[in-house]
């Protein structure tokens, strides 16, 4: 079964969450992980769903106002964390902390969904694989001993595809995912690679033709529970 990660980003209110949980009631399998805002993690946890944090602090504890520690999230029962999402890289300079955050998460037995992806300029100037390799190197460096197929998952999210309704052509996506997997082999790693960026009901069947995709990281299309259920029903 493919892995499906629902990243709510900074969306939905408490009432929306209650309604969401009512709608998805019993219709979600074990391959789905919810990444709501930290405030609502417990609502999903109490209903027995797998949960992940959208980020963790680069420190375990201390004077980092506004951040949440991996130890606190672990206490809460999270199974996963996203690290290096392009929005965090853009607004919070997170590329600088990706390596440290992965180290903290893996040492605490939290599985990591590592986001990598190129921007439109880089895509148009054929830099994609160069960018992806650099982001992988930055993440893996010094952490190789901690990493295995079970605890580090790569999410390839072209920045230009996030929230735009655009996705790469199937040929390009197939080639890029193959290149990512080949590059990981040079580290002796065989990791799952998810695709993220405007995954929706209109393109899921096309995406499902790519055998190399091991799952999806879904933003906007995970916010409406009815639509999300229809979407994941189309995933093998
Ligand atoms: P969208 O599915 O809204 O394009 O977002 C993708 C994403 O960034 C998931 O992490």
pLDDT band (50, 70, 90) for residue 26: confident
Residue 161 sits in a domain of what CATH number? 3.20.20.70
pLDDT of residue 190: 98
SS (H, E, C) the chain: CCEEEEECCCCCCHHHHHHHHHHHCCCCCCCEEEECCHHHHHHHHHCCCEEEECCCCCCCCCCCCCCCCHHHHHHHCCCEEEECCHHHHHHHCHHHCHHHHHHHHHHCCCEEEEEECCCHHHHHCCCHHHHHHHHHHHHHCCCHHHCCCCCEEEEECCHHHCCCCCCCCHHHHHHHHHHHHHHHHCCCCCCCEEEECCCCCCCHHHHCCCCCCCEEEECHHHCCHHHHHHHHHCCC
Cβ 7 under 6 angstroms from ligand 1: yes
The closest residue, in CA terms, to atom 1 on ligand 1 is 219
**pLDDT at residue 29 is higher than 90:** no
pLDDT band (50, 70, 90) for residue 91: very high
What integer best gives the mean pLDDT of the chain?
A: 97
The pLDDT tens digits for 102-136 are 999 999 999 999 999 999 999 999 999 999 999 99
Cβ 215 under 6 angstroms from ligand 1: no
Task: Give the residue numbers spanning the domain of 17.
Answer: 3-232
Catalytic residues: 85, 157
* Ligand 1 center from residue 64 Cα (angstroms): 27
**pLDDT at residue 203 is higher than 90:** yes
Q: Which of 53, 86, 217, 235 to mutate to test the pocket of ligand 1 (most atoms within 8 A of CB)?
A: 217
pLDDT of residue 156: 99
Cβ 128 under 6 angstroms from ligand 1: no
The pLDDT tens digits for 34-54 are 999 999 999 999 999 999 999
Q: Indicate the number of domains in the chain.
A: 1
The closest residue, in CA terms, to atom 5 on ligand 1 is 219
Cβ 162 under 6 angstroms from ligand 1: yes
The pLDDT tens digits for 49-75 are 999 999 999 999 999 999 999 999 999
């Amino acid at each position: 079964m493919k892995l499906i990660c629902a990243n709510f980003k900074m969306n939905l209110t408490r009432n929306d969450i209650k309604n969401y949980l009512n709608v998805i009631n019993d219709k979600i399998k074990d391959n789905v992980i919810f990444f709501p805002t930290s405030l609502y993690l417990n609502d999903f946890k109490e209903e027995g769903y797998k949960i992940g944090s959208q980020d963790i602090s680069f420190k375990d504890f201390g004077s980092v106002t506004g951040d949440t520690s991996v130890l606190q999230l672990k206490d809460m029962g999270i199974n996963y964390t996203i690290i290096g999402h392009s929005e965090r890289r853009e607004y919070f300079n997170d590329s600088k902390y990706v390596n440290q955050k992965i180290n903290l998460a893996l040492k605490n037995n939290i599985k990591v969904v590592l986001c990598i992806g190129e921007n439109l300029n880089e895509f148009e100037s054929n830099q994609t694989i160069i960018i992806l390799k650099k982001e992988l190197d930055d993440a893996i460096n010094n952490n190789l001993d901690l990493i295995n197929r079970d605890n580090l998952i790569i999410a390839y999210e072209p920045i230009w595809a996030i929230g735009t309704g655009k996705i790469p052509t199937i040929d390009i996506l197939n080639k890029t995912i193959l290149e990512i997997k080949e590059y990981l082999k040079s580290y002796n790693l065989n990791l799952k690679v998810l695709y993220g960026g405007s995954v929706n009901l209109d393109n899921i069947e096309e995406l499902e033709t790519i055998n190399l995709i091991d799952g999806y990281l879904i933003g906007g299309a995970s916010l409406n529970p009815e639509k999300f259920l229809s979407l994941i029903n189309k995933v093998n």
